[in-house]
Each structure stands twice: as structure tokens, then as C-alpha cells.
Structure 1
Amino acid sequence: MERAARWQLKSDLATIRERASAFLNNPVPAYRDMQTTTQWSSEWIDIAEVHSQFGEERINRGNSDAATEAWLCALTAYEVARRLITGSDQLAILVAGIERCIQRLEQSTKNRIERVRIGAGEPPELEALYLRCGSGLHKQAVICISTEQEPGAILFSRLLSATFNRKLSLLIISHDDLLHDSRHEVNMQLSSCLEYLSARPDVDPDRIGVYGDGISSALATDFAASDSRVAAAVCDGGLWSSSRSSASIGWLSGAGNAIDGLAMSSHRSQRIRQLRCPVLVVMGSRGLVSASEAVSLQAHCMAECIDLELAMAPIIRASGDEIENFVSLDDRTFTWLETKLGTSQALTSSESQFD
């Protein structure tokens, strides 16, 4: 495994992400001598550890750019391992490695990474991680919400290597830090995040999007529907809310599938019109959206000239588990966000259809 890790060490960030994506698309042919996911995760932890050590060597020689790239490579490898991991011992090594890389990146990236607190009083303040775009010419920003029971730092570590060289700033918050007693409370907290970004000199308040990972895609939909300042949303398009509403109607009335279908169609139409910004709906194992529901939603939006696109998360099976190709999906998602937030023309056209 050490020789394989050393070979991977020759990779730059783009190359290691390509190799990670190829592995996640078809892991068995990529490592024919490995029999279990435990061996696969060990291999990727080794690759991450070697890159992390390489970063230490480079920073000690005063080469912060090379050190930064090495730590970003390490975070990509750690994320592959996290998708495969089976034992608590490996998990402890992985979490410690991720935390170490983030701390070293905070020191090496000239204040591009910040730990911030948002809001005070009611609702309670949120702790967040912020990645500032490396170019002063681009002021787009995205509020990113981790999935349920996943710390914001885990999402941050994954998105660091996916977005570090993009024209975006990221504000990462944890799903579990949000108040969930009511939809209104969550939206108030997310609005505080948007206001925080709007007040920063490195962010254009007209170019702020929201991204909900996994189950948080429903939170992103609610927020985009409640706050017209959101300029683009990666969310579930209201499908979870529609499904829940139609199920409740069917249970209360004892109605059949035909009535349920009509109720869902009506709710879907009402909900999607509340989203006054371009929307990307992600289908996959981590999300709430099935392919058939998403395709129906897209057809409905096309008929009404609503700007909605779909993204499918590539999935493979290993030892009975579904493993998502996060590299491919993140590239698709953040390319879309970069494009939609990169021009005010997209915002103007999306708003005009509701006038």
C-alpha cells in the first residue's frame, strides 16, 4: 500500500480528483488485489497520510502553495476513505487527519479560511466555516448546509478541494446546529447567514446562493422560497414537502392514487413558483429526490418556463452499500452555481417570469 500511496503522491489536485472519481465509478477493476472495502479505505487513508506529510515537508521549506495543494489532495483521499470506512479505528484516524489538514490550510492560505459566528440573541448564534474566494474580482458566495448528523467541518473538508480554485466563497453550517422546532426558525437563521454574507466587502449581496446537502436539500428549498434575495438554489425543488402533503391528504381522506396524484401536482406547482431563482435538483442516495419525481418536476417547470435543472449522483455498489461519486457530483453542482451566480442577467430573467 505504501508504494501505491507514493505513486499517488505525484498527483496534483486535478489528477487525484480524477483518480478518485474513476475509483468511485468502478472500484473493483481499479484495485483488483483488494477484497474488502476495509482494504480500500486503508489504501485511501494511506494516500491521504502521505499527501499530508508531503504538505508538512513543503511548508517547512517555505513553499506554501505546494503545501496547500498537498493538503487539498489529502482531503480528497480522506473523503474517499470516509465513503468506504467500516471500523471505528479507521474513523478515528480519518477524523484526526481531516482536522489536521483543515488547521494547516487555515495557516497556509493567507486568511482565506475563517471560523465565524453569525447572529446573536434570537435566534441563537451559529458557528460556521468560511472559505473566501481567492480572486477579488469574483464575489459570488454560497450558504452550504451539511446533511443531518454530519458536522459542518466534514462538509467543509469535502468542498474545500472541490471549490478552492473556483470563483466562489462558501459559508458552511451544520444541519444539526439549526433550530428545527419550526420552518420559520430555520429560515430566520439562514437569513442571518445571508445578511452576514451581504455585509462582507468580499461578497456581492445580489449573488448569494444556497446549497443543501442530502436531507438539507429540503431546508434549502424552504429558505429559497422564503427569502427572495437567494440568487440560486441547489435543493429538492419542494418534492419532499409535496410528497408529505399528498400522503397526509390521502391518509385523512382515504383517497386513492388518482386524488393523491392531483394533490401532489397542485402542491408541486404552487411550491415551485415560490422559488424565484434558478434551481438545481440533485437526485441520488444522499438526497430526498427520486429520479421519477425529479423528471416529472422538470417537465412541469419546462412547461411553465421555470429555470430548473437536474443532476444525477453517480452511484456504485460495494459490499451491499451504495457509494456516491462525490467528485463528479460536486463538480457538476458547483460549476452550475458558479455559472448561475456569475451573471446578474440570470437573476433578472428568472425574476421577470413572475412579474
Structure 2
Amino acid sequence: MDGAAWPQVREDLASTRKSAAAFLDNLEGASRSMGPREWATRWISISAAHESLGDTNRTLGYRNEAASAWLCALTTWEVAKRLLNLDSSDDEEVAARIDATVWKFHSLEQKIQHVKIECYDHYEIAALYLSGRSANTPAVICISGDGETATMLLGRLLPVVVDRGISVLVVTHDEVSRRQRGESDMLLSACLDYLSARSDVDARRIGVYGDGISAALATDFAASDRRVAAAVCDGGLWNWARMTASINWLATAAKEPNEKMMSAYRSRCLRQLKCPALVVAGGRGIVSLSEAIELERDVEGTGPVDLQLPIPRLARAPVAQVENFVTSDDRIFSWLIDKLQSHPAL
């Protein structure tokens, strides 16, 4: 593929996402002709064109076309943002454009709500709710990565979840993680209570997705609340790594932890999960490829555990690797929708 010939403005969302995925898969080759900053500039231009097309279509009264163009823009803005991060460039302007595009889409579809979820001791969680637009839909609690706003995560996920018959409640990592041990689970359970009380959500089919470091929060929550029907999480590996580091520091041990002990701990974590689990290895996640392989081995001796370990496609660039978020997000939510449709919580 000739890197100089793409990306281009695509007419529909499927083509735009296919183009973005192809670019990210071939980033190493594309980097030979231009650096991340130059490619980011090109993707910013593509994004602005999609956004402008959406604005024009809205003015002309073409609502569906406007919505499609803005969803295309959200995908391409995300590509630009990741390229700027790769180049250590300031992405505040792109982040602001993503935020603006999300609310343009909302102004047209009227599907996104700012909600306040009451927890305990008068503590409230601010969240964004995207309705699946029909009664008794499955729903997913989505927890953003560290330092990421709810709007930024929703902007990335909107092109994936819109019109797929699923509702999402997006909360930030900071809202639910700055608590003592066990409190994060209580806050997320309050989010599940909120969804269960909604008339448009099926309370038996609510899952959780933790992005980045929030995958550890998703594991703890799924283990503590049996109502969770499916979890995209870390399988307990982050907590194990922290505990091992603490033990080694206290004991000033130079040797590696006992493998049998590690395997037993991982197996115990898996048994605590009573719902299907998806552990994404590599990329922006907190589970390394080697840990995923070890976890997969442990699953074999754990008994009937519904666990999948997909490995995202990574593109090499001159200074780092970039996850193909298009392929990864599509896979994650296809898995969630499948599990929430076929494995309702008891």
C-alpha cells in the first residue's frame, strides 16, 4: 500500500474505520515517508472535513448523513490524538474537537445524558449515559483509563456502540478509584444499581469494561458483585503484581516469586469471577503478553472458566508501538454484546 495515497475522506463509517485500521496496521511503513506529527496533521485535516460535512448535512436537514459524518470524525480524531501522543505533541486542541463532536452528535440524536449517581455518605458519581434506544437492552459500565475524561472515552466508543442495541454508562477512573480498598466496588455497584433501575435496561444483562489501568477495577468489581454478567478486565494480574512487589520490597528478596504460588494466586482470582471474562493483553492494557500466556496456562487447570485472551494488533513506529484501537474496540464490544445476549447473570 502506498502510504502517500491515504488516508482519504470516506463516505461511510464502515469505510472510515477500515481505512483507519489499515493505516494503524501499516504505521511502520507509513513512518518511512512521514513522521507522526506530519501524519497527525493529515488525519486532523481528514477529521475536520468529516466534521464540516456533518455540519453541512445538519443544515440541509440530512440527519442520518450528519450523524454518520460526525461518527467518522470521532474515529479519525482518535487516530490523530494517538499520533500526537506518539510524537509527544500537545493534543489539547484535538481533545477539544473530540469533545465538541460528541456533543454535536448528541444535539442531533438526543441520546447522551449527564447523570448523577448517588452512592453513600452523600457521595455522587458524575457519568455519561448513552441509551440503546429500546426497552430491556443490555448495558455496559465503561471505566475510562487513568487521566481520561468520560467524554473522551465515549467519543472513541460512540462509533462502535451506536445502533447496536446496547446502552453504556461511562465513568472516569478518578471518580471510582480514589477510595480505600473495597470502596471502588461499592461505587461501581451503585452504578449497576442505577442501570438496573432504568426501564430501558435489562438488569440481568449488565457488564463492565475497564480501559487501561481500570481493567483492574473491573476485575475486583466483577468478583465482588455477582450481578455482573460479563467483564473486560485484567484477570487479577495487576493486584498480583502490586502484592508481589510489596512482598519483595519488605523481604528485600532478589529472586523471582515462586511460580507455583503465582499460578495458584492467578487461578484463585479466576475462580472468583463468576461471569465470562475477556482479558486483553498488550497495547494500552496493563496485562503483558507473557502474563497472558501464563494466565492461559492457569486456565487449563482451573476448571470451567469462560475466559478469552485476545492479543491486539500493534503497529511499530520509530519510537513506540501503537495499538489498533479500531480492531480492538470492535472485538471487545462484539464479545460483550455476544456474552450479554447469551449469558444473562443469575
- Same fold by TM-score, threshold 0.5 exceeded? yes
Does the CA-based 8 Å contact 1:141-1:208 persist in structure 2?
yes
Does the CA-based 8 Å contact 2:275-2:345 persist in structure 1?
yes
TM-superposed CA distance for 1:31, in Å, is 7.7
* Counterpart for residue 108 of structure 1: 108
TM-superposed CA distance for 1:319, in Å, is 2.9
Distance of aligned partners of 1:236 and 1:326 in 2 relative to their CA distance in 1, 3 Å threshold: same
Q: After the TM superposition, which residues 276-291 of structure 1 pair with which residues of structure 2 at under 5 Å, given as runs?
A: 276-291=274-289
* Counterpart for residue 352 of structure 1: none
Whole-Å separation in 2 of the counterparts to 1:92 and 1:288: 25
Whole-Å separation in 2 of the counterparts to 1:338 and 1:331: 11
Does the CA-based 8 Å contact 1:247-1:260 persist in structure 2?
no
Distance of aligned partners of 1:237 and 1:65 in 2 relative to their CA distance in 1, 3 Å threshold: same
TM-superposed CA distance for 1:49, in Å, is 0.6
* Counterpart for residue 298 of structure 2: 300
Whole-Å separation in 2 of the counterparts to 1:255 and 1:84: 40
TM-superposed CA distance for 1:9, in Å, is 3.2
Letter in 2 for 1:18: K
Q: After the TM superposition, which residues 42-61 of structure 1 pair with which residues of structure 2 at under 5 Å, given as runs?
A: 42-61=41-60
Letter in 1 for 2:336: L
Counterpart check, 1:38 vs 2:33: no
TM-superposed CA distance for 1:328, in Å, is 0.5
Counterpart check, 1:192 vs 2:160: no
Q: Which stretch has the larger CA shift, 285-294 or 220-229?
A: 285-294
Whole-Å separation in 1 of the counterparts to 2:88 and 2:272: 44
Letter in 2 for 1:117: K
* Counterpart for residue 202 of structure 2: 204
* Counterpart for residue 13 of structure 1: 13
Whole-Å separation in 1 of the counterparts to 2:41 and 2:257: 52
* Counterpart for residue 235 of structure 2: 237
Letter in 2 for 1:55: G
Letter in 1 for 2:83: L
Q: After the TM superposition, which residues 113-132 of structure 1 pair with which residues of structure 2 at under 5 Å, given as runs?
A: 113-119=112-118, 122=121, 124-132=123-131
Distance of aligned partners of 1:340 and 1:300 in 2 relative to their CA distance in 1, 3 Å threshold: same
* Counterpart for residue 311 of structure 1: 310
* Counterpart for residue 139 of structure 2: 141
Q: After the TM superposition, which residues 250-289 of structure 1 pair with which residues of structure 2 at under 5 Å, given as runs?
A: 250-253=248-251, 260-289=258-287
Does the CA-based 8 Å contact 2:142-2:209 persist in structure 1?
yes
Counterpart check, 1:91 vs 2:91: yes
TM-score by structure 1 length?
A: 0.89
Partner of 2:91: helix, strand, or coil? helix
Whole-Å separation in 2 of the counterparts to 1:287 and 1:137: 33
Q: Which stretch has the larger CA shift, 317-326 or 242-251?
A: 242-251
Whole-Å separation in 1 of the counterparts to 2:89 and 2:327: 28
TM-superposed CA distance for 1:88, in Å, is 8.9
Partner of 1:206: helix, strand, or coil? strand
Distance of aligned partners of 1:97 and 1:292 in 2 relative to their CA distance in 1, 3 Å threshold: same
Whole-Å separation in 2 of the counterparts to 1:278 and 1:199: 23
TM-superposed CA distance for 1:90, in Å, is 5.9
Q: Which stretch has the larger CA shift, 199-208 or 258-267?
A: 258-267
Partner of 1:51: helix, strand, or coil? helix
Distance of aligned partners of 1:39 and 1:258 in 2 relative to their CA distance in 1, 3 Å threshold: closer
Structure 2 unaligned regions, length at least 5: none
RMSD (Å) for aligned C-alpha atoms: 2.3
Does the CA-based 8 Å contact 1:123-1:188 persist in structure 2?
no
Letter in 2 for 1:194: L
Does the CA-based 8 Å contact 2:138-2:201 persist in structure 1?
yes
Does the CA-based 8 Å contact 1:44-1:80 persist in structure 2?
yes
Identity %: 45
- Count of equivalent residues: 341
The C-alpha deviation readout for 1:309-333, integer Å capped at 9, x for no partner, is 0111211122302211000000111
TM-superposed CA distance for 1:337, in Å, is 0.3
Partner of 1:142: helix, strand, or coil? strand
Does the CA-based 8 Å contact 1:277-1:347 persist in structure 2?
yes
TM-superposed CA distance for 1:116, in Å, is 1.0
* Counterpart for residue 71 of structure 1: 70
Structure 1 unaligned regions, length at least 5: 349-355
Does the CA-based 8 Å contact 1:249-1:260 persist in structure 2?
no
TM-superposed CA distance for 1:51, in Å, is 0.6
Letter in 2 for 1:40: W
Does the CA-based 8 Å contact 1:301-1:307 persist in structure 2?
no
Whole-Å separation in 1 of the counterparts to 2:91 and 2:247: 43
TM-superposed CA distance for 1:256, in Å, is 7.2
Counterpart check, 1:159 vs 2:157: yes
